[in-house]
Structure 1
Amino acid sequence: RAAGPAGMISEPELVGGQAVPAPRRDDDPPGAWRAGAPDPAAPDDPEAPPETIAADGLPPHRRPWVWGLCGALLASAGWAAWIQLDHSAGPDLRGYRVSRNLCLDAELPALSAALGTERLPKAVVDERETVDRSFCMVELTPEGKNGREAISATTKHATVDISYVLHRKTDPGPEFEAIATGPASAMGPTYTAKLVPDLGERAYVLRDAAGNSLQLMVLDGQAVITAEVQAFTEFGTGPGAGNQYVHEPLEPDVVEPALVADIRDLMTKLSK
């Protein structure tokens, strides 16, 4: 390498794979320490081990800032690794999985016994990196009616709409509380919300003022399950014939415990 100006030490050269200071020039100041020469500041003990010389030509004990720098770098590297590990791990899903057919997972035995056993299920699933969403709509009719046969009299139906959302990245808790108890609920401006004990982390039953709809909202960790039951009477001669549907009031003392029991069973199945 080209020598530096007078009084300066040139860049270190590699000798045997280790960096050592380059030889000094003849015009260096007298008394300066040379590579391979005894260090005048070294102790007189002949058995003392030779000092290791770093690339800048100074023994380690003369560079106390190195240890502080190394400690800072190690701390920074450890902190970055912890952040990366924590980020990659994601939140605890508590065993909850995506449901690719929510109507198969939601068997609804209690509601079927109370409102009708014939079912016309429709299921939809949407899987994303940050959130999985599954939906199911089930129509329940009295025994002997399946909704496709021509009818000459009124037919009573009930619908059960279930939404299951698994949040894989963010906490749904604050949003859940606001939706379940806020005035802008999907149930409309006039409804009552009642806390359901021993179901998930938090659960509410919502009733509209007319008594035509009953909704259950459950938060359990990263999972949010919403189920709504409505009843109506169908007037007409069969599907596709311009039938009319009139909402009917529900029997909350019958529907509410059945809905809670069926959603509890669904949560057990989804978290296995």
Structure 2
Amino acid sequence: MISEPELDGAWESERPAEVAQDDAAVPAPGPVRPWRWVAAAVVATSALWAGGLYAFGEPSAAAPEVRYAVTDDLCGQFKAPALAGALDGFKVSAPQEGGRDPALDWAACSHEGHDAAGAGGYAVSAMVELHRKSDPAPEFALGSQYERLFGGDVEWEEMPGLGEQALVRSPGGGDGLQLRVRDGGAVFVFEVMFFGRPDEETDPGATLPGLPDRETLTAAAVEDARALMAALRKG
């Protein structure tokens, strides 16, 4: 128990003078390191979080509704006739069975071809992800890591009337197209890429066949996306 002299500061006058001088020689403490404040904040936050869990129980997010199923041969459902018609057809198809996991099922398919003059090639791909544990909605607009690293600063545009949310863009402002669709726990990604076309600067005499404009590619991609979603929908 603290005595009355200690409360009113009377004990200061009874301390030896040399002790008081030693105290005076000790430099004042420096500024508190920022990490100490961070550590204190973490401890306080952890305590509040633990108290909240104790009082209300651990929160759990509802699993997203998955209304689709994937197959080992996605190319069997993704024929992409609209995109094939907008281009010059496909020469090669490559299904990829993907993977199956309690948290995520996925599969992919790609079709490749080249224009009639053989001046360049193109690829059309589709990927389906079925998120069973976590809702993909919060991060959907960010795209994949690959898209964030190499997709440049081109912003996604909303595409109404397709799934719960659909976004489209031309990566890097080029001739290709990316279409992403989210419906419940399902995410569909479609991409059209062009490659191997001659450069007008290095080959001025090359005849470059015209490419479909963005409106044509977008309309074809949306049509093929609807068809794939209908083919994979359960029930």
TM-score grouping bracket, smaller chain normalisation: 0.5 to 0.7
- Structure number having the greater strand percentage: 1
* Map 1:1-272 → 2, pairs under 5 A: 91-94=64-67, 96-125=68-97, 126-142=99-115, 154-179=118-143, 185=148, 188-233=151-196, 251-272=213-234
How many residues are matched? 165
Alignment partner of 1:218: what SS? strand
Alignment partner of 1:121: what SS? strand
C-alpha distance 101-159 of structure 1, shift in aligned 2 (>3 A): same
C-alpha distance 90-254 of structure 1, shift in aligned 2 (>3 A): closer
Q: Tell me how far apart the structure 1 counterparts of residues 88 and 211 of structure 2 sit (CA, whole Å).
A: 16
User: Could you tell me how far 1:227 is from its partner in structure 2?
Assistant: 0.8
User: Could you tell me how far 1:249 is from its partner in structure 2?
Assistant: 6.3
User: Could you tell me how far 1:103 is from its partner in structure 2?
Assistant: 1.0
Q: Tell me how far apart the structure 1 counterparts of residues 196 and 152 of structure 2 sit (CA, whole Å).
A: 25
Residue segments in structure 2 that go unaligned for 5+ positions in a row: 1-59, 199-207
CA radius of gyration, larger in: 1
Q: Report the TM-score when normalising by structure 1.
A: 0.53
C-alpha distance 130-215 of structure 1, shift in aligned 2 (>3 A): same
Q: Which has the higher contact order (CA 8 A, sep 6+)?
A: 2
What do you get for the CA RMSD once the two structures are aligned? 3.1
Q: Report the TM-score when normalising by structure 2.
A: 0.61
User: Structure 1, residues 126-153: CA drift from partner, whole Å, max 9, x if none?
Assistant: 111211110111103346xxxxxxxxx6
- 2:33 aligns with none
Residue segments in structure 1 that go unaligned for 5+ positions in a row: 1-85, 144-152, 236-245
User: Could you tell me how far 1:122 is from its partner in structure 2?
Assistant: 0.9
C-alpha distance 93-222 of structure 1, shift in aligned 2 (>3 A): same
Q: Tell me how far apart the structure 1 counterparts of residues 91 and 167 of structure 2 sit (CA, whole Å).
A: 26
Contact 1:230 1:250 in 2 (8 A): no
User: Structure 1, residues 2-54: CA drift from partner, whole Å, max 9, x if none?
Assistant: xxxxxxxxxxxxxxxxxxxxxxxxxxxxxxxxxxxxxxxxxxxxxxxxxxxxx
Q: Tell me how far apart the structure 2 counterparts of residues 213 and 168 of structure 1 sit (CA, whole Å).
A: 31
Alignment partner of 1:118: what SS? coil
Deviates more, 1:171-180 or 1:190-199: 171-180
Q: Tell me how far apart the structure 2 counterparts of residues 119 and 269 of structure 1 sit (CA, whole Å).
A: 23
Contact 2:175 2:194 in 1 (8 A): yes
Deviates more, 1:123-132 or 1:186-195: 186-195
Alignment partner of 2:66: what SS? coil
Alignment identity in percent?
33
